[in-house]
């Protein structure tokens, strides 16, 4: 079997794998002009250059730095590499992203792009995905840390709010045991009959 990722490097042998979504999780991008973008990336589409205006989610730089200290970082996006690669070149200021996966690595499931974590070549008990789209982790809900969709709320604190939780998760034996139960509603919200 050919895995999507190469074997774990020596520096990450004891670390878990954190899979990060790009769009609406770490950044928001638009072909329309956005006032005060964090950066602009030229992308060639049909032999024409188009500017993509990119906003970084608040706290993303600090979040990436801290996660890079604890995890093997993979960015897995359903976007095309010709857009996502230059965005990541500018976004990853701390150089913590070890692997990049794009649309062609997704599984097309009923017209949606699903990120099949079982194809990464990593132990699922030591792999988690941070994504705003539940469809993306459809096959691996037990590995998911759901985040809200982000466009431009400058008061958003979700990435930084997750740092302590994710740092703790880096130390557990099996993330699926924690994440599977974390997604269940607390007993007070469940109806009893």
Give the residue numbers marked as catalytic.
Answer: 21, 23
Phi, psi of 157 (to 5 degrees): -125, 10
For 10, the 3-state DSSP assignment is helix
Concatenated DSSP letters of 90-159 = HH-TT--EEEEE-GGGSEEETTEEE--GGGSSS-GGGEEEEES-GGGGTT-GGGEEE----SS-TT--HH
Cα–Cα distance measured from residue 154 to residue 140, given in angstroms and rounded to the nearest whole number: 31
Tokens of 73: 């970082």
Bridge-partner residues for 76, per DSSP? 101
* Tokens standing for residue 26: 């770490």
What is the DSSP pairing of strand 48-56 with strand 39-45? antiparallel
In this structure, what are the phi and psi dihedrals at residue 145, rounded to the nearest 5 degrees?
-115, 100
């Amino acid at each position: 079997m050919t895995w999507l990722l190469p074997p774990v490097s020596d520096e990450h042998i004891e670390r878990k794998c954190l899979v990060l979504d790009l769009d609406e999780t770490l950044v928001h991008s638009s072909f329309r002009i956005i006032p005060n973008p964090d950066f602009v990336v030229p992308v060639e589409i049909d032999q024409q250059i188009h500017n993509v205006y990119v906003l970084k989610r608040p706290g993303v730089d600090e979040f990436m730095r801290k996660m890079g200290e604890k995890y093997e970082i993979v960015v897995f996006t359903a976007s095309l590499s010709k857009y996502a690669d230059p965005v990541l070149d500018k976004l990853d200021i701390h150089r913590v992203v070890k692997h990049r996966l794009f649309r062609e690595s997704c599984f097309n499931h009923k017209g949606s792009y699903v990120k099949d974590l079982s194809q990464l070549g990593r132990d699922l008990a030591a792999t988690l995905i941070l994504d705003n789209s539940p469809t993306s982790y459809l096959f691996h809900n037990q590995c998911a840390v759901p985040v809200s969709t982000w466009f431009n709320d400058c008061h958003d604190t979700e990435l930084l709010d997750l740092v302590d939780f994710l740092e703790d998760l880096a130390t557990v034996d099996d993330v699926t045991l924690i994440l599977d139960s974390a997604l269940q509603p607390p007993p007070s919200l469940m109806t009893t009959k």
